[in-house]
């Protein structure tokens, strides 16, 4: 018997986490979207569970909201968001943020970095992250979400993948 994607333990953990950190999830019917069954709106993620193929993509989309400034988060999904959003730095930050979130939730890295995502670079990302080559870490540190090993040691705080906070101010 197949469990509906919305009811899986991993999806429920993800949804609970997003609620806890202040990202709204709104269930609604979606047309064709870049990631099947997912779309971003102002301060929220829209999910069409009938079309969602990879629930780990929810964390990636949440990462986009999390690394975006609070002022810009209100504009996501509208015509008022900057044409260049997300920037390349924000894209890399969202990828690394989703790794940290999966790690925080105790989910396997493959939950987010599935073989059909990330322009066929999932294995490369997994390999880098598993060897603590955290591409995007300077950006996440710069926006105040976490600390790299050196700075964390100096400040006596936990190093990435631990997060100081989950949402950019």
Q: Which long-range contacts (CB under 8 A, 24 or more apart) does 8-15 make?
A: 8/55, 10/55, 10/56, 10/107, 10/111, 11/55, 11/58, 13/105, 13/107, 14/55, 14/56, 14/58, 14/59, 14/62, 14/101, 14/105, 14/107, 15/58
pLDDT of 2 higher than 90: no
CB 134 within 8 A of CB 160: yes
Task: Find, among 111, 113, 99, the residue nearest to 162 by Cα.
Answer: 99
pLDDT band, very low/low/confident/very high, at 16 (cuts 50, 70, 90): very high
Mean pLDDT, rounded, for 112-123: 93
Distances (CA, A) of 124 to 21, 71, 100: 29, 33, 17
Beta bridge partners of 93: none
Taking the CA atoms of residue 11, residue 158, residue 147 and residue 63 in that order, the dihedral angle to the nearest 10 degrees is 10
Residue 1 has a pLDDT of: 60
Residue found by looking up tokens 């050196």 in the block: 150
Mean pLDDT, rounded, for 131-145: 97
- Alpha helices, H only, 5-121: 9-21, 57-66, 70-73, 88-105, 109-112
The model's pTM: 0.96
Q: Whole-angstrom distance between the N-terminal and C-terminal Cα of the chain? A: 43
Convert the pLDDT of each residue in 79-95 to its tens digit: 999 999 999 999 999 99
pLDDT band, very low/low/confident/very high, at 3 (cuts 50, 70, 90): confident
Task: Find, among 91, 90, 100, the residue nearest to 165 by Cα.
Answer: 100
Convert the pLDDT of each residue in 32-87 to its tens digit: 999 999 999 999 999 999 999 999 999 999 999 999 999 999 999 999 999 999 99
């Amino acid at each position: 018997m197949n469990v509906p994607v919305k009811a899986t333990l991993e999806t429920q953990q993800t949804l609970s986490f997003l609620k806890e950190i202040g990202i709204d999830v709104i269930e609604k019917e979606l047309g064709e979207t870049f990631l099947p069954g997912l779309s971003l709106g102002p301060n929220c993620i829209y999910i069409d569970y009938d079309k969602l193929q990879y629930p780990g993509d929810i964390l990636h989309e949440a990462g986009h909201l999390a690394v975006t400034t609070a002022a810009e988060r209100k504009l996501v999904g509208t015509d008022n968001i900057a044409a260049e959003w997300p920037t390349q730095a924000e894209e890399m930050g969202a990828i690394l943020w989703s790794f940290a979130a999966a790690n925080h939730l105790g989910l396997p890295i493959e939950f987010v970095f599935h073989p059909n995502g990330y322009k066929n670079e999932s294995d490369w990302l997994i390999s880098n992250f598993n060897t603590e080559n955290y591409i995007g870490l300077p950006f996440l540190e710069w926006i105040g979400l976490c600390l790299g090993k050196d700075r964390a040691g100096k400040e006596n705080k936990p190093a990435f993948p631990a997060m100081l906070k989950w949402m950019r101010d």
